[in-house]
């Protein structure tokens, strides 16, 4: 083995995902793509707004290519960062200035820049189950250890009661993903206030601050007039990580930012440090698309498509007797296995050509995640398969 | 201090660079930009070819935005990787297939993906002085230690004679940057053969393979009909890292690749591992610009501009009595301090408004680097300043 010890287990996890993908492909080859119902991928199904294309072409036609494709301040173009700060301030009453915004290669690179900045070898990062499985890989790669707080399967809010015993002297960071992938739940302001209290108490015990990474790629994907709490209103030491992947349907372009509230503890050290770890990892976020997102800050995804998919799927599945969380945000639906034998459930779903994601990887076995960023047509065609699955489950 | 111990020193290094930049800005405010001769930045001065713009607009107009801006295989679009493999095979007689090519967020992210894959805490990476200073930060961030082989200031080829005693049981990787930043030197095939022999010998002693990272962002920037040796023809266990920053003048776009020769030891582990560490760090390389570089593989930078700058500057400086390496590639010129008191030299250069980069950061004090990716006009205007500097140095 020539590769690092901590990386080796990641390869095995990766082969599992590849295996699933290959199984799906083999299935499609056998029965045809139209008879496979793929709910596995969080890949936006709504195209980027026309304004994105217009902005790219305008920038290419009107600006100097040395500017559009060139190096800028490693933290991003200053007017792009100023525009984002202004937009956040208008929406949330915050007081960001351009220095507080660091453009990143998507949310993943933003989280990685934070982890690499904070983690000494063996330091711990906490996530609340169920959580985006890739968090574990980010933390391991940065030399740390991810500790999971077990899910509160009653409310699927943050399980604050169980947090205290997961925090140790080595806890540096907590990741909160709101609205949450994979459940679609919005953590309420009250929940976040309770989190802040629990953190304050723990900090007294362990003697150093704990920072919260607020991972918000689904910030604009919220339904039914629900409001997403603004993290800095509830959590003192928070770092906001954002991605335009979902809000502008640009997941392949890798564009996002970190926003650093001015009143966090050790602001200068953290801000200066993130400028460095972000630069060391990727130099800067892609240039042309930085200019584009700054032009498109008022654009919103076509939520109506996701919303009607959400209702269609949720209504059908609950009608069939499946126990589902009603998604408040994101484009995911979280469903409980109707039987104790969870492996049999996912196996039989596969036999019905339903590709659902086993939530064990999210730290919450007994559940599956359905990504409904798919065509309405596929959802409708999948209903017969769900009906057969319900029958097999004795519903 | 809330940030990681290994990162703290990077902040200090970063402030030094910022200080230089601020000094330059202050100087410009005082005497006017036209009287400051900034040779500090490796930012291409030749605009991207028109083909880049045409390709971007064509992709936006002709292809589905869900494809152009969407997720693809984390290692990159398969046809982009196939096109790069084919292009390399035609040029270098290699036998890459698409599986051997991983698209990365520029060369920096490529190197980081390799470092994170290979390095256990405390493992060592070797670079030959003078080397691109950021290598040290990459290695430290990944939890390793960079060991420098002192420069061979006679030939500025790789100092193979001094390599043996730098290699230890903890040596995992060697970085070779050809042509070299900051010297502009091309390492010859003969030098690389000697490197391979030294590695083979060391491997017997330490009992594990050492891999060479071949960092080739300046591959296409070679002058006077010089030929750049093809690394896999000389080094068995090499990983090629490439960037389109210089060859297509796209440094802000962050687009490059890792190419993995099929015959390296532990191919499967390394290839599978790089797919993982690259995905964990950045998910994938930016999508639209992947399609663009694949369209522009036959495009070359306008070398004539750099070449004439090179001759102009080299001829003038040597005429004035400065000792310079004649650049064979890159857009850098390496110059020796004419006096023992190196600090006085760089100080007096600054007094003449000449912004040169102190090569101490490249592991080679006593020298400075001049980036001649600037306007010919600036070079000509700087001559009077160089004349005064030469006089002050007693040349």
Query: Tens of pLDDT along B164-204?
Result: 999 999 999 999 999 999 999 999 999 999 999 999 999 99
Contact by Cβ (8 Å): B104, B286: no
Cβ contacts (< 8 Å) between A66 and chain B: which residues?
Answer: 44-45, 47, 249
pLDDT-derived band at A130, boundaries 50, 70, 90: very high
Q: Residue B1: its pLDDT value, please?
A: 81
Predicted confidence at residue A263, as pLDDT, reads 98
Residue A353 sits in the same domain as residue A259:
no
The pLDDT value recorded for residue A307 is: 97
Indicate which of B43, B252, B282 best probes the interface with A, i.e. most A CBs within 10 Å of its own CB. B252
Domain identity same for A230 and A328: no
Provide the pLDDT confidence category of residue A19 given band limits of 50, 70 and 90.
confident
CA distance linking residue A156 with residue A128, whole number of Å: 10
Q: Is the pLDDT of residue B306 over 90?
A: yes
- A390–chain B Cβ distance below 8 A for any pair: no
Q: Check B281 against A281: CB less than 8 A apart.
A: yes
A41 and A117 assigned to the same domain:
no
Q: What is the pLDDT of residue A12?
A: 84
Q: B103: part of which helix (H) or strand (E)?
A: strand B101-104
Q: Does B11 touch chain A (CB under 8 A)?
A: yes
A2 in a domain, yes or no? no
Q: CB A143 to CB B134 under 8 A?
A: no
Chain B, nearest residue to A109 by Cα: B282
Instruction: For A23-48, write each residue's pLDDT tens digit.
Output: 888 898 999 989 999 999 888 999 99
Segment B135-143 shows an average pLDDT of 97
CA B184 – CA A335 distance, rounded (Å):
60
Bridge partners, B238 (sequence order): B212
- Which of B108, B279, B283 faces A283 most closely, judged by CB atoms? B108
Q: How far apart are CA B142 and CA B140, in angstroms?
A: 5
Going by pLDDT thresholds of 50, 70 and 90, the confidence category of residue B24 is confident
* Average confidence (pLDDT) over A111-137: 97
Please tell me the predicted confidence (pLDDT) of residue A199: 98
What would the pLDDT profile of B59-89 be if each residue is shown by its tens digit?
999 999 999 999 999 999 999 999 999 999 9
Residues A284 and A352 in one domain: no
* One domain for residues B28 and B154: no
What confidence tier does A15 reach under pLDDT thresholds 50, 70, 90?
A: confident
Residues of B in contact with A265 (CB under 8 A): 2
B350, B361: one domain: yes
Cα–Cα separations (whole angstroms), residue B313 to B42, B325, B374:
16, 11, 11
Q: Output the pLDDT for position B25.
A: 83
pLDDT of residue B278: 98
Q: Which positions in chain A touch B281 (Cβ < 8 Å)?
A: 108-109, 112, 141, 281-282
Q: Which of A276, A295, A314 is a domain's end point? A: A295
Give me the half-sphere count of Cα atoms (radius 13 Å) on the Cβ side of residue B158: 26
Pairwise CB contact (< 8 Å): A209 & B2: yes
Asked whether the predicted pLDDT for residue B234 surpasses 90, the reply is yes
CB-CB contact of A336 with A103 (8 Å) = no
Q: Is residue B2 part of a domain?
A: no
Buried b (16+ CB within 10 A) or exposed e, A370-381: bbbbbeeebbee
The yes-or-no verdict on residue A18 having pLDDT over 80 is: no
User: Strand order of the sheet with strand B357-358?
Assistant: B332-336, B367-371, B357-358
Q: What is the C-alpha separation between A265 and B358, in angstroms, rounded?
A: 35
**A356 alpha-carbon distance from chain centroid:** 18
Q: Is A120 in the same domain as A269?
A: yes
A229 and A190 Cβ atoms separated by less than 8 Å: no
**Which of A295, A324, A350 is the endpoint of a domain?**
A295
Interface of B with A in 319-348 (CB under 8 A): none
Q: Do B56 and A53 touch (CB under 8 A)?
A: no
The residue-averaged pLDDT of A65-76 equals 95
Of B138, B249, B282, the CB nearest to A109: B282
Does residue B93 fall inside a structural domain?
A: yes
Q: In Å, how far is A393's CA from the nearest CA of chain B?
A: 34
Min Cα separation B241/chain A (Å): 14
User: What one-character DSSP code corresponds to residue B208?
Assistant: S
Chain B residues with CB-CB distance to A65 below 8 A:
47-48, 52-53, 249
Q: Residue B257: which of B106, B135, B77, B98 has the closest Cα?
A: B106
Alpha-helical runs (H) found in B225-320: 267-282, 287-295, 303-319
Least-confidence region, from A100-109, A147-156, B41-50, B286-295: B41-50
The Cα–Cα gap between B28 and A38 comes to 59
Please, which residues have CB within 8 angstroms of residue B20's CB and are 6 or more apart in sequence?
A: B40, B355
- Boundary of a domain, candidates A260, A295, A330: A295
∠ CA(B138), CA(B139), CA(B145), 5° rounding?
155
The domain of B89 spans: 50-295
Quick: pLDDT tens for A329-365.
Answer: 999 999 999 999 999 999 999 999 999 999 999 999 9
Do B276 and A4 count as a contact with CB atoms less than 8 A apart? no
Q: How many domains does chain B have?
A: 2
- Cβ-Cβ contacts under 8 Å between A and B: the total is 235
d(Cα B257, Cα B84) in Å, to the nearest integer?
Answer: 9
CB–CB of B286/B76 below 8 Å?
no
Place of tokens 């007096």: B348
pLDDT at B17 over 80: no
C-alpha span between A382 and A388 (Å, rounded): 10
Tell me phi and psi for residue A183, to 5 degrees.
-90, -25
pLDDT exceeds 80 at position B310: yes
Q: Which of B3, B56, B109 sits opposite A282 (nearest CB)?
A: B109
Give me the mean pLDDT over the A316-332 stretch: 98
Closest residue by Cα to residue A80 from A63, A57, A59, A103: A103
User: B266 and A2: CB-CB below 8 Å?
Assistant: yes
Residue B152: burial class (beta carbons within 10 Å; 0-12, 13-18, 19+): middle
Whether A1 is covered by a domain: the verdict is no
Mutate which of B276, B291, B299 to disrupt the A interface (most A C-beta within 10 Å)?
Answer: B276
Query: In this model, does residue B265 exceed pLDDT 90?
Result: yes
Tell me if A108 and B69 make a contact (CB, 8 A cut-off): no
Among B66, B251, B276, select the one facing A71 at the smallest CB separation. Answer: B251
Confidence tier at B248 by pLDDT (50, 70, 90): very high
| B216 three-state secondary structure | coil
Residue B141 inside a domain? The answer is yes
- HEC states along chain A? CCCCCCCHHHHHHHHHHHHHHHHHHHHHHHHCHHHCEECCCCCCCCCCCHHHHHHHHHHHHHCCHHHHCCCCCCCCCHHHHHHHHHHHHHHHCCCCCHHHEEEECHHHHHHHHHHHHHCCCCCEEEEECCCCCHHHHHHHHCCCEEEEECCCCCCCCCCHHHCCCCCCCCEEEEEEECCCCCCCCCCCHHHHHHHHHHHHHHHHHHCCCCEEEEECCCCCCECCCCCCCCHHHCCCCEEEEEECCCCCCCHHHCCEEEECCCCCCCHHHHHHHHHHHHHHHHCCCCHHHHHHHHHCCCCCCCHHHHHHHHHHHHHHHHHCCCCECCCCECCEEEEECCCCCHHHHHHHHHHCCEECEEHHHHCCCCEEEEECCCCHHHHHHHHHHHHHHHHHCCC
Q: What rounded mean pLDDT belongs to chain B?
A: 96
Cα gap B282→B176, rounded to integer Å: 24
Percent of chain A whose pLDDT exceeds 70: 100
Q: Which of A3, A284, A285 sits opposite B117 (nearest CB)?
A: A3
In the block, which residue shows the tokens 């997941």?
A: A251
**Interchain pair A273, B48: CB under 8 A:** no
Contact residues, chain B, for A111 at CB < 8 Å: none
Q: How distant is the alpha carbon of residue B237 from its chain centre?
A: 20
State the residue for tokens 């002192």: B150
Q: Which residues of A touch B280 (CB under 8 A)?
A: 10, 108, 112, 134, 137-138, 141
Interface residue B48 vs chain A (CB under 8 A): yes
Helix residue ranges per DSSP H, B128-188? 134-141
**How far does B157 lie from chain A, in Å, by closest CA?**
27
Rounded to the nearest angstrom, the minimum Cα separation between A21 and chain B is 11
**What are the residues facing B104 on neighbouring strands?**
B256
Q: What are phi and psi of A124, to 5 degrees?
A: -115, 145
**Six-digit token pair at A61?**
């036609």
B205 with B82, same domain?
yes
DSSP-based three-state secondary structure for B222: strand
Question: Does residue B3 lie in a domain region?
Answer: no
- Whether the predicted pLDDT of B19 surpasses 90: no
Q: Is the pLDDT of residue B333 over 80?
A: yes
| Average confidence score pLDDT of chain A | 96
Q: Among residues of chain B, what percentage have pLDDT more than 90? A: 93
Contact B281 A11 (CB under 8 A): no
Does the pLDDT at position B15 exceed 90?
no
Record: contact B69-A14, CB cut-off 8 A: no
A69 touches chain B (CB under 8 A): yes
Q: For B47, which of A56, A65, A143 is closest by C-beta distance?
A: A65
Residue A177, pLDDT above cutoff 80: yes
In this structure, are A42 and A56 located in the same domain? no
pLDDT of residue A348: 96
pLDDT of residue A24: 82
Enumerate the residues of chain B whose CB falls inside 8 A of the CB of residue A137. Answer: 276, 280
List the 76-135 stretch of B: residues with Cβ below 8 A of A. Answer: 105-106, 108-109, 112, 116-121, 123, 134
In this structure, the answer to whether residues B144 and B275 fall within a common structural domain is: yes
On whether both B192 and B202 belong to a single domain, the answer is yes
Q: Which residues pair with B175 in a beta bridge?
A: B127, B213
Backbone angles phi, psi at B152, to 5 degrees: -90, 95
| Distance in angstroms (rounded) separating the CA atoms of residues A271 and B319 | 47
Specify whether A44 is located in the same domain as A54: no
The CATH number that applies at residue B212 is: 3.40.640.10
Measured from the Cβ of residue A5, the count of other Cβ atoms closer than 10 Å reads 9
Enumerate residues 129 to 168 of chain B having a beta carbon within 8 A of any beta carbon in chain A: 134, 137-138, 141, 143
Which chain B residues are Cβ-neighbours of A121 within 8 angstroms?
121, 143
| pLDDT reading at A264 higher than 80 | yes
Q: Phi, psi (5° rounding) for residue A269?
A: -65, -45
- For residue A314, what pLDDT band results from cuts at 50, 70 and 90? very high
Give the CATH number, domain containing residue B353: 3.90.1150.10
CB-count exposure of residue B207 (10 Å: 0-12, 13-18, 19+): exposed
B384 lies within 8 A of chain A by CB: no
Which distant-in-sequence residues (6+ apart) come within 8 Å of B270 by Cβ?
A: A2, A3, B117, B211, B239, B260, B264
**pLDDT value of residue A1:** 81
CA–CA dist B156, B176 (Å, integer): 13
pLDDT value at position B13?
A: 81
| Cβ atoms A236, A338 nearer than 8 A | no
Two tokens, residue B261: 């020769």
Q: Is the bond preceding residue A182 a cis peptide, omega within 30 degrees?
A: yes
* Cross-strand bridge partners of residue B214: B176, B240
* Nearest-CA distance A16 → chain B (Å): 12
A62 domain residue, yes or no: yes
Q: Please say if the pLDDT value at position B313 is more than 80.
A: yes
């Amino acid at each position: 083995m020539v590769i690092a010890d901590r990386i080796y287990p990641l390869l095995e996890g990766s082969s599992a995902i590849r295996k699933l993908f290959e199984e799906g492909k083999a299935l499609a080859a056998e029965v045809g793509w139209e008879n496979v119902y793929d709910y596995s991928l969080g890949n936006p199904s709504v195209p980027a707004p026309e304004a994105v294309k217009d902005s790219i072409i305008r920038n290419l036609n009107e600006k100097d290519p040395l500017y559009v494709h060139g190096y800028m301040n490693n933290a991003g173009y200053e007017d792009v960062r100023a525009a984002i700060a202004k937009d956040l301030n208008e929406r949330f009453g915050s007081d960001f200035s351009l220095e507080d915004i660091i453009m990143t290669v998507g949310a993943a690179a933003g989280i990685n820049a934070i982890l690499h900045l904070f983690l000494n070898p063996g330091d711990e990062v906490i996530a609340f189950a169920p959580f985006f499985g890739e968090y574990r890989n980010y933390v391991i790669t940065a030399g740390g250890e991810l500790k999971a707080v077990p899910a509160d399967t009653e409310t699927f809010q943050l399980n604050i009661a169980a947090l205290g015993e997961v925090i140790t002297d080595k806890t540096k960071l907590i990741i909160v993903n709101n609205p949450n992938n994979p459940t679609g739940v919005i953590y309420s302001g009250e929940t976040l206030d309770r989190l802040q209290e629990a953190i304050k108490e723990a900090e007294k015990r362990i003697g150093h601050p704990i920072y919260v990474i607020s991972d918000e790629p689904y910030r604009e994907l919220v339904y039914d007039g629900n409001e997403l709490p603004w993290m800095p209103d509830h959590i003192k030491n928070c770092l906001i990580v954002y991605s335009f992947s979902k809000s502008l349907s640009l997941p392949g372009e890798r564009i996002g930012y970190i926003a650093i509230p001015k009143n966090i503890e050790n602001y200068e050290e953290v801000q200066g440090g993130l400028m460095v770890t972000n630069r060391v990892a990727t130099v800067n976020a892609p240039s042309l698309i930085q200019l584009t997102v700054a032009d498109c800050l008022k654009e919103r995804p076509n939520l109506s498509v996701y919303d009607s998919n959400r209702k269609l799927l949720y209504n059908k599945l609950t009608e069939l007797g499946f126990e589902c969380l009603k998604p408040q945000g994101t484009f995911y639906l979280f469903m409980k296995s109707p039987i104790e034998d969870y492996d049999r459930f996912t196996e039989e779903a596969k036999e019905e050509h339903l590709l659902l994601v086993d939530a064990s990887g999210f730290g919450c076995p007994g559940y599956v995640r359905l990504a409904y960023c798919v065509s309405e047509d596929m959802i409708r065609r999948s209903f017969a398969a769900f009906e057969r699955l319900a029958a097999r489950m004795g519903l």
